[in-house]
Amino acid sequence: MTLAATVFAPAYAKINLTLAVLGRRADGYHRLASVMQTISLHDTLRLRLASADRFDCDIAALATPDNLVTRAAEALRAEVGRPDLAAEIELHKAVPAQAGLGGGSSDAATTLVALNALWGLGLSLARLESLAARLGSDTPYLIHGGTARIEGRGEVVEPLPDAEPLWLVLVKPPVDISTPTIFRALTPADYGDAADTEAVIAAIRAGRPLPFDQLTNTLERGVLRAYPEVLGVRELLLNVGASLVIMSGSGPSLFAPYRTLGEAASLAERARAHGLNPWLCHSVTRAQVAASRAMQSASDQGNQM
Ligand code: C5P
C-alpha cells in the first residue's frame, strides 16, 4: 500500500505595522499604503491527494463550500483546466476569523501553494499571486509573506527587507467586525497620507529599529469609536503597562510590539490576570515562510518515492 502524498502546511497570520487609507477608488475599494508582516500565529492545513474532494474544518461554521480554501482549490483547478484534480483538505483554525489578521486569506494562499506542489502543476509564484488577487485583497501578499509594502487595494505587493524582529502580545477583543462595514463608514475626513508608512519603510530599508511612534492605522479611530469592546481592551492593555497598542487591519485585533521576551511575557501575564486571552507570538520572515513551503514539497517527494 502506498500512502497518498500528504502535507501539513502552516498558514501564517499577518499584522499591519502601518495602514493608511489614502482615498476611495471608483470601484468602491479604497487605496491603501501599508507595511504588512507575517507572524507566528498560524492555522494548519493538511492536504492529501484524493480521487474526490473533501474539506473539513474544526470550526464547524467554517466547514462550508464557500470557505476560501475550497474556493482557492477551485480557482487553481479552473486556471489549469484540470477538473479531474482532487484533494482532501483539513483546516485547523488557530487564527481568529474576521479579526484583521488575514487568517482566511492566508489559508487561501497556503492552499494555492500547497496544491500547486501536490498536483505537480509547476505554476510560478507570480501566477499564483495573480490567481490569489481574485480571492481577496490580502491573499497575494500572503503567497510570500515576510515584510512587504502593500498598495492599490492590497494586491500590489513589494517585498521589503525583513523588519526588525519583534515579540508581539496580540489580543482579539470579543467582537466580530466586518471589513466592508469599517471601510464603508469612512469619510474623506478620515483619509490619511502615507507619511508614517514611508518613514517605517525607510527605517526597514536602512536596517534601523522600527520607529514605534509611526506604527499607525487610519482605521483604528473609527473602530475605537464604534466598538466600545475594542476601546475597553485597548485601555486595559495600556493600564496594565503596554506602552503602545496598535490595531491590525480593519480590526478588532490589537497588538503591542516588544524587543525583549521579558517585557512581552510580563504584559501577557498581566493581561491574563485581568481576564484577557493574549497570544505571545513573534514576527516571521519571508525566508521562514519559504522554508515552510519548501518542506511541503520535500514531504511530497518523500511520499512519492
Ligand atoms: O478584498 P477583500 O475581500 O479582503 O475586502 C473585503 C471588503 O473590504 C471589500 O468588499 C471592501 O468593502 C473593503 N475593502 C476596501 N478597500 C480595500 C480592501 C477592502 O474598501 N482596499
Q: Are residues 154 and 187 in the same domain?
A: no
Question: Sign (positive/negative) of CA torsion 61, 65, 66, 68?
Answer: positive
Query: In this structure, are 181 and 124 located in the same domain?
Result: no
266 in a structural domain: yes
Determine, yes or no, domain membership for 1.
no
- Write out residues with Cβ below 6 Å of ligand 1: 29-30, 32, 136-138, 153-154, 179-180, 183
User: What distance in angstroms lies between residue 243's CA and the mean position of ligand 1's atoms?
Assistant: 30
Question: Same domain for 151 and 232?
Answer: no
Q: What is the pLDDT of residues 269-299, one digit of tens each?
A: 999 999 999 999 999 999 999 999 886 655 5
Ligand 1 pocket test, pick from 105, 179, 181 with the greatest ligand atom count within 8 Å of Cβ, gives 179
pLDDT, one tens digit per residue, over 206-218 is 999 999 999 999 9
Q: Which residues contact 50 (CB under 8 A, 6 or more apart)?
A: 4, 86, 87, 88
Residue 4 CA to ligand 1 center (angstroms) comes to: 38
156: in domain: yes
Q: What is the CA radius of gyration of the chain?
A: 19
Residue in 246, 240, 238 with CA at minimum distance from that of residue 212: 246
Count up the domains in the chain and report the number: 2
SS3 letters across 32-100: EEEEEEEEEEEEEEEEEECCCCEEEECCHHHCCCCCHHHHHHHHHHHHHCCCCCCEEEEEECCCCCCCC
Q: How many CA atoms does the CB half-sphere of 23 hold within 13 Å?
A: 3
Residue pointed to by grid coordinates 518515492: 305
Query: pTM score, two decimals?
Result: 0.95
Q: What is residue 217's DSSP assignment?
A: B
Atom of ligand 1 nearest to the CA of 153: 21
**3-class DSSP state of 251:** coil
pLDDT in tens, 222-266: 999 999 999 999 999 999 999 999 999 999 999 999 999 999 999
Residue numbers of the domain that contains 201: 167-284
Give me the CATH number covering residue 208: 3.30.70.890
Specify whether the CB–CB gap between 181 and 48 falls below 8 A: no
pLDDT band at 304 (very low <50, low <70, confident <90, very high): very low
Confidence grade of residue 4 (pLDDT, cut at 50, 70, 90): low
Q: What pLDDT digit, counting tens, does each position of 103-114 carry?
A: 999 999 999 999
Q: Are residues 137 and 236 in the same domain?
A: no
Q: Check whether residue 223 and residue 294 sit in a common domain.
A: no
Q: What distance in Å separates the CA atoms of residue 292 and residue 167, rounded to the nearest whole number?
A: 20
Q: Does one domain contain both 70 and 105?
A: yes
State the average pLDDT over residues 146-151: 98
Which residue minimizes the CA distance to atom 10 of ligand 1?
A: 180
- Which pLDDT value is given to residue 252? 97
Instruction: Find the CATH number of the domain harbouring 77.
Output: 3.30.230.10
Q: Are residues 189 and 152 located together in one domain of the fold?
A: no
Clarify whether residues 93 and 175 are in a common domain: no
- Is pLDDT at 22 greater than 80 in this prediction? yes
304 domain residue, yes or no: no
- Ligand 1 atom 13: residue of nearest CA: 180
pLDDT confidence band for 1 (50 / 70 / 90): very low
Q: Residue 146: how many CA atoms within 13 Å on its side-chain side?
A: 19
User: At 296, is the secondary structure helix, strand, or coil?
Assistant: helix
Compute, in angstroms, the gap from residue 30 CA to the centroid of ligand 1: 7
Q: Which amino acid is at 170?
A: L
221 pLDDT above the threshold of 80: yes
Ligand 1 atom at minimum distance from 30 CA: 16
Tell the residue number behind the cell numbers 519583534, with chain if given: 166
Residue nearest to atom 3 of ligand 1 (CA): 136
Alpha carbon distance 245, 24 (integer Å): 27
Instruction: In whole angstroms, give the CA distance from residue 211 to residue 164.
Output: 10
Q: Give the whole-number percent of the chain exceeding pLDDT 70.
A: 95
- Nearest Cα residue to atom 19 of ligand 1: 29
Going from the Cα of 135 to the center of ligand 1, the distance in angstroms, rounded, reads 11
Dist. CA 220–CA 174, nearest whole Å: 16
HSE-up of residue 232 (Cα within 13 Å, Cβ side): 11
Q: How far is the CA of 153 from the centre of ligand 1 (A)?
A: 7
pLDDT on residue 295: 66
91/11 same-domain check? yes
222 φψ region: left (φ > 0), alpha (ψ -120 to 50), beta (else): alpha
Active-site residues, by number, are 14, 138
Residue 107 falls inside a structural domain: yes
**pLDDT bracket for residue 305 (50, 70, 90):** very low
Average pLDDT score over the chain: 94
Does residue 19 belong to any structural domain of this protein?
yes
Is 69 found in the same domain as 38? yes
173, part of any domain: yes
**C-alpha 180 to ligand 1 mean position (Å):** 6
Residue with CA nearest ligand 1 atom 21: 153
| pLDDT over threshold 80, residue 173 | yes
Closest ligand 1 atom to residue 154 Cα is: 21
* 19 and 153 both lie in a single domain: yes
Q: Is residue 73 part of a domain?
A: yes
Name the residue at shortest CA distance from atom 12 of ligand 1: 180
Contact status, residue 250 vs residue 100, Cβ threshold 8 Å: yes
H or E stretch at 246: strand 246-247
C-beta separation of 215 from 209 below 8 A: no
Pocket-testing residue among 155, 183, 186, ligand 1, by greatest number of atoms within 8 A of Cβ = 183
On whether both 183 and 34 belong to a single domain, the answer is no
Q: When comparing pLDDT for 90 and 302, which is higher?
A: 90
